[in-house]
Amino acid sequence: MSFSTLMYHEIRENAFFDPKHPSSIDVKQGYVDILPAPLFVTLEHFEDQMAYLRNNNYYTLTLEEVKDYYYHNRELPEKSVLLTFDDCYQSIKKYAYPILRKYQFHAVAFVVTNWLHELPRIFNPEKSVCMAESELADISDIFEFANHTDSFHKRSDTATSLLMLTSDEDFAADLDLCNENNMIQAKDVFAYPFGLYEERNITLLKNKGFRLAFTSRNGQNDNNTDPLLLNRNAIPYFIEMEDFKKIIS
């Protein structure tokens, strides 16, 4: 038995999406970066993808079910898939939530807690704006929330994240700070910023009792996959349905 984990970041209506137009992020921390176009999916494609999952009897996993699979040898439901969304941008609430709720799907959002704005902001399709903490509560009947750092979701250069350069002590303190947020229910589940890590990061997560951690490497997950190095498949705006089907099959 294996399962696919799908990774989404941002959703835009096709009419408002231009992959050649850079999308600056807008987060409380004040960190400046550009969200690459392949981390977007169009609303129309997302609707089609979720409809395909529903019409073909796919089951959307919870994190507890994934932990039970790895640590208690429990079988997964047939045709299982894990839906994940990183960074908690506005489009998760505006676009993803209503569709997932319609199909009674379950999903996971990885939260950078120091990115959450104090108050909700007007939706801006020109930027990748982070939600406010109060908005997470509004979607918590569908989403469960897990650790994506408090303040270490930063690049040091194009190939390295700040997490890879920071001390173990600072990383441990940051994990604790993220988990102090009341919206983080899955306090033993982590997603590596930008999918990047060093071996000592994995060791620290294990020593702190983390049970699952997600990369951004493509591929299925089965009982031979290290649960602290789980694969996730990014779903870009240009993916065709036949390729989507191959990822989840």
Alpha-carbon distance of 204 to 40, in angstroms, equals 31
CATH architecture group of domain 4-248: Alpha-Beta Barrel (3.20)
- Measured distance CA(114)–CA(171) in Å, rounded: 14
For the chain, the average pLDDT equals 96
The label of the residue with tokens 């997560």 reads 205
For residue 137, is pLDDT > 90? Answer: yes
Query: What is the rounded average pLDDT of the residues 193-218?
Result: 96
Q: What is the pLDDT of residues 79-100, one digit of tens each?
A: 999 999 999 999 999 999 999 9
Q: What is the pLDDT of residue 156?
A: 79
pLDDT at 162: 86
Residue spans per domain, the chain: 4-248
Residue type, 183: M
Average pLDDT over residues 141-149: 98
How many CA atoms does the CB half-sphere of 60 hold within 13 Å?
21
In SS3 terms, the chain reads as CCEEEEEECEEECHHHCCCCCCEEEECCCCCCCEECHHHEEEHHHHHHHHHHHHHCCCEECCHHHHHHHHHCCCCCCCCEEEEEEECCEHHHHHHHHHHHHHCCCCEEEEECHHHCECCCCCCCCCCEEECEHHHHHHCCCCEEEEECCCCCCCEEECCEEHHHCCCHHHHHHHHHHHHCCCCCCEEEEEECHHHCCCHHHHHHHHHCCCCEEECCCCCCECCCCCCCCECCEECCCCCCHHHHHHHHC
Tens of pLDDT, residues 149-165: 999 999 877 667 888 88
Contact 232, 217 (CB under 8 A): yes
Nearest to 204 by CA among 186, 192, 194: 192
Least confident interval from 14-18, 111-115, 130-134: 14-18
Residue 169 has pLDDT above 70, yes or no: yes
Determine the pLDDT at residue 213.
Answer: 98
Distance CA 172, CA 205 (A): 8
